[in-house]
Amino acid sequence: MSVAPHQPLLRVEDLHVEFSTEDGVVHAVDGITYQVERGRTLGIVGESGSGKTVASMTTLGLTRSQGAQISGRILFEGRDLVALSDGELRAIRGNEIAMIFQDPLSSLHPFYKVGYQLIEAIRAHRDVTKAQARARAVELLGLVGIPDPSRRVDDYPHEFSGGMRQRAMIAMGLANEPKLLIADEPTTALDVTVQAQILALLERLQRELGMAIVIITHDLGVVAEMADDVAVMYAGRIVETAPAEIVFGGPEHPYTWGLLKSIPTLGGSREDDLVPIPGTPPSLINRPSGCHFHPRCPYAQPDHARIDPPLQAVPGEPTHHVACLLEADVRRRLWAELRAGRLPDEALAAAGLPGEPS
Amino acid sequence: MSARAGPEPSPFGDERAAGSPAPTAAAGVGEPLVQVRDLVKHFPITRGIVIRRKIGAVRAVDGVSLEVQRGETLGIVGETGCGKSTTARLIVRLLDATAGEVRFDGEDITTVKGARLKAVRREMQMIFQDPYSSLNPRKTVGSIIGEPFAVHGLERDKAGRKRAVQELMETVGLNPEHYNRYPHEFSGGQRQRIGVARALALKPKLLIADEPVSALDVSIQAQVLNLLRDLQRQFGLTVVFIAHDLSVVRHMCDRVAVMYLGKIVEIGSGDALYGFPRHPYTGALLSAVPVADPDAPKRERGLLTGDVPSPANPPSACRFHTRCPKAQALCSEQEPMLEDKGSGTRVACHYPLTREEVAEIGVRSAR
């Protein structure tokens, strides 16, 4: 369904976002580059504090008012959003690019009816009468699967269940048929059965409307089901990016391995212990030297504390980029061992690497 | 911490009929640690400010019977509002039951009061979901973990208490030198370790973990899950583990109970329940779990429609019939009892799933 792929819908180039605080400068986003093609889904995975939300909010100019220092380019259909004025950005936000947030209860205004809030979103960008906007609001609520939409349009947010509120948020996001929908943890607050409904809804709407989706989540299961391409973020950087099959089938970054080995699986054996990533995510004010992951990496070598690895294409895989100082063949040996159920120490020995004296 | 002699491991596979009359014999090794019979908790809904009239009741827990064997981990899963946390709070008497009975170590504790209740509570401890709001921000970690000693008048001498607390900190993987720090100086995973240390202080027989990892990041979640499993092995703890994440429950639990609107709809060993779910709700839950494998078949599966009905006004007979793809007339007329349907679990369903249906709805754990 994609049109001319030579100009991607969204291209983020070397984006940096920093916040000055009393404690020092927070390097929330530290030089990330990615692109999203029309009609495709990019999954951004990372833990809290990895910069995934800040990066996306910056796309919509939502970090400007918080005193953020922004550099780099965010090209949406060739226009640099970073350079636009607030007014120009407002014409794009909610119109060509829409965002849905994690917590639907605090993202809807409790004093206003759901329908009123939808009508507001429509009339902000379309010159239509209230009656026309209301008809569109009812249509949108029906589209996202709210039963009896012509009655529920006059409900207040508290009269909706959690799943229905998230559907209402999606309806609001879709109000102006955006080309790009940014979904920040859209199902994290929801139960699994409702999560499955919402993900199926997003997939259906994407097929019908042909929009691109950026889905931000910490849940690798959600990413595996939704995303065409995946970017793994750690400490404000993208450490690995590739098509989803590659990230799950042949990941090359030790952090990605750590994430995959630390989640229990439905069909897995109970005897296998989980292999957690040691330590905690670093402070974004005083980041570790060299490779930011080295203090938690079981395979780190002494010089990894000095050298900062760039995001580079994996030899022989042009769509797969990774920021790791280990040699490609060492990485493949390590992953083969881990995949066979060995622990990081055993994998280290098998790959012939000296263990880090820690 | 000196390891307490663990109780004899009991045969977990033994699916005792929880609905049958309880043996009234004194506490023995073969007897379950916790026996819950026909437990009911209704929260009144009132109207009026000066004159409060009761106009209804939220039937949060509505006839739950289960047993927890010594040394096993029982998982309770279900969606928000299904009554899983209320069940746990009833077992530890943080709430008083409307009806029914909770027996702990052979003793009926449903209505015990005062000193006896305090003595019983020493034997059962709880770990809470939110490591931020469950620790007092004005107290040091040392006094938070030492609080149970103070409450129960143990380790009265200061040096002895400090030593005991530091041993606990070591056990859960915290640096004992951080004794005088405050909760805000710790990360989420470390705070949850503080909660675990506090729960272990009195060497309880029963540990109730209510969503202990759902507030934590993925990489930290695994650390805390491994800690809980190690401690259980080390101290022979009996654990009731409540979570909405079915993969986590699979990993942690010997037996699993699935709740829907205040009732248990299916209960059995983890292997049996995940391998061959019989209740359509269990099947729907399992098929809804996203799996970190892009090669897995895409979701064209048994998605449930609609929302969970209100527990203030639950559907008649089988409470799942309004959303069940297999519902027939009988389901709205006669309530199904928890029964063995020959696949290792006990299930409350008139028309349980067949193997073909389980495959059809895409349950990835099916065997």
> Smallest CA–CA separation between B92 and chain A, in Å?
26
- For A193, the closest chain B residue by CA position comes to B288
CB contact under 8 A, B80 and A264: no
Whether residue A158 lies within 8 A of chain B, CB to CB, comes out as no
Contact state of B80 with A197 under an 8 Å Cβ cutoff:
no
Q: Residue A305's domain is classified under what CATH number?
A: 3.40.50.300
Interface check B138 vs A, CB under 8 A: no
Q: What value does the mean pLDDT take over residues B295-305?
A: 65
Burial (CB count within 10 angstroms: exposed 0-12, middle 13-18, buried 19+), residue A286: exposed
CB contact under 8 A, A266 and B80: no
Residue A150 or residue B29, greater confidence: A150
Q: What is the ipTM of this complex?
A: 0.83
**Position B1 pLDDT exceeds 70:** no
pLDDT confidence bin for B340, thresholds 50/70/90: very high
Q: In the structure encoding, which two tokens stand for residue B204, read together?
A: 């309880």
Contact list in A for residue B219 (CB cut-off 8 A) is 47, 258-259, 262, 276-277, 281
The fraction of chain B above a pLDDT of 90, given in percent, is: 61
A245 touches chain B (CB under 8 A): yes
Q: Do B219 and A276 touch (CB under 8 A)?
A: yes
What is the C-alpha radius of gyration for chain B, rounded to an integer number of angstroms?
21
Partner-chain contact B217 A199, CB within 8 Å: no
Query: Nearest Cβ partner of A219 from B223, B286, B290?
Result: B290
- Chain A contact for B364 (CB, 8 A cutoff): yes
- Closest partner residue to A196 among B245, B247, B303, by Cβ? B303
Q: Is the pLDDT of residue B15 over 70?
A: no
Contact A348, A355 (CB under 8 A): yes
Say if A22 falls within a structural domain: yes
In a domain, B328, yes or no: yes
Domain annotation covers residue B339? yes
Per-residue DSSP letters for A299-336?
Answer: T--GGGGT-----EEETTEEEEEE---S-HHHHHHHHH
Q: How far apart are CA B207 and CA B127, in angstroms?
A: 8
Identify whether the C-beta of residue B57 lies closer than 8 Å to the C-beta of residue B43.
Answer: yes
Where does the pLDDT of residue B302 fall: very low under 50, low under 70, confident under 90, or very high at 90 and above?
low
Residue A357 near chain B (CB below 8 Å) = no
A274 and chain B in contact, CB less than 8 A:
yes
B350 touches chain A (CB under 8 A): no
In this prediction the pTM is 0.86
Report the alpha-carbon distance of residue B284 to residue B304 in Å, rounded. Answer: 7
Chain A residue whose CA is closest to B270: A270
Would an 8 Å CB–CB cutoff place A200 in contact with chain B? yes
Which positions 213-242 of A are in contact with B (Cβ < 8 Å)? 218-225
Give chain B's mean pLDDT: 86
- Domain count across chain B: 1
Q: What is the pLDDT of residue A48?
A: 82
Query: pLDDT under 50 in chain A at which residues?
Result: 2-3, 357-358
User: Which residues make beta-bridge pairs with A168?
Assistant: none
A-chain residues near B251 (CB < 8 A):
264, 268, 270, 274
- Cβ contacts of B157 within 8 Å, gap of 6 or more: none
- Tell how strand A229-234 and strand A41-45 pair up: parallel
Cα separation of A307 and A292, whole Å? 10
Q: How many domains, chain A?
A: 1
Q: Does A270 touch chain B (CB under 8 A)?
A: yes
Mind listing the pLDDT tens digit for each residue in B118-131? 999 999 999 988 88
How far apart (Å, rounded) are the C-alpha atoms in residues A64 and A22? 18
Element (H, E) at B43: strand B34-47
At residue A188, the pLDDT reads: 81
Contact B365 A266 (CB under 8 A): yes
Joined together, the tokens standing for residue A162 give 């959690």
Question: Tokens at residue A277, please?
Answer: 């990533």
Q: Which domain holds residue B334?
A: 279-367
Q: Can you tell me which residue has the tokens 């073909």?
A: B356
Q: A191 and B270: CB-CB below 8 Å?
A: no
pLDDT value of residue A267: 74
CA-closest candidate to residue B58, choices B17, B21, B15, B95: B95
pLDDT at A120: 92
Spell out which residues of chain B touch residue A225, defining contact as CB-CB under 8 Å.
290-291, 294, 296, 298-299
Give, in order, the Cα–Cα distances in Å from A254 to each of A291, A324, A336, A338, B121.
Answer: 12, 8, 12, 10, 44
The reported pLDDT for the residue numbered B297 is: 60
Cross-chain CB nearest to B218 (options A47, A193, A225): A47
Q: Does A159 touch chain B (CB under 8 A)?
A: no
More confident residue, A263 or B295: A263
| Minimal Cβ distance to A248: which of B293, B308, B365 | B293
**CA distances for A133 relative to A4, A115, A123, angstroms:** 33, 9, 7
Cα angle A36, A119, A196; round to 5: 50
The residue-averaged pLDDT of B50-56 equals 84
Q: Could B218 and A218 be called an inter-chain contact, meaning their C-beta atoms sit closer than 8 Å?
A: yes
Instruction: Please list, residue by residue across B283-294, b when 16 or more beta carbons sit within 10 angstroms of its beta carbon and e when fewer do.
Output: bbbbbbbbbbbb
pLDDT in tens, A102-155: 877 788 899 999 999 999 999 999 999 999 999 999 999 988 888 889 999 999
- Chain A segment 19-58 residues within 8 A of B by beta carbon are 47-48
Q: Among B220, B274, B290, select the one facing A280 at the smallest CB separation.
A: B220
Q: Answer whether residue A184 is part of any domain.
A: no
In a domain, A190, yes or no: no
Point out the residue among A47, A191, A259 whose CB comes nearest to the CB of B244: A191
In Å, how far is B286's CA from the nearest CA of chain A?
Answer: 8
> Which pLDDT belongs to residue A295?
94
Instruction: Provide the shortest C-alpha distance from residue A165 to chain B (in Å).
Output: 12
Q: Tell me the pLDDT tens digit for each residue of B267-293.
A: 999 999 999 999 999 999 998 888 887
Q: Do B222 and A223 touch (CB under 8 A)?
A: no
Helices then strands, each counted (H, E), chain A: 13, 12
> Domain residues for A17?
7-96+210-358
- Judge: B303–A267 Cβ closer than 8 Å, yes or no: no
Q: Is A295 on the interface with B (CB under 8 A)?
A: no
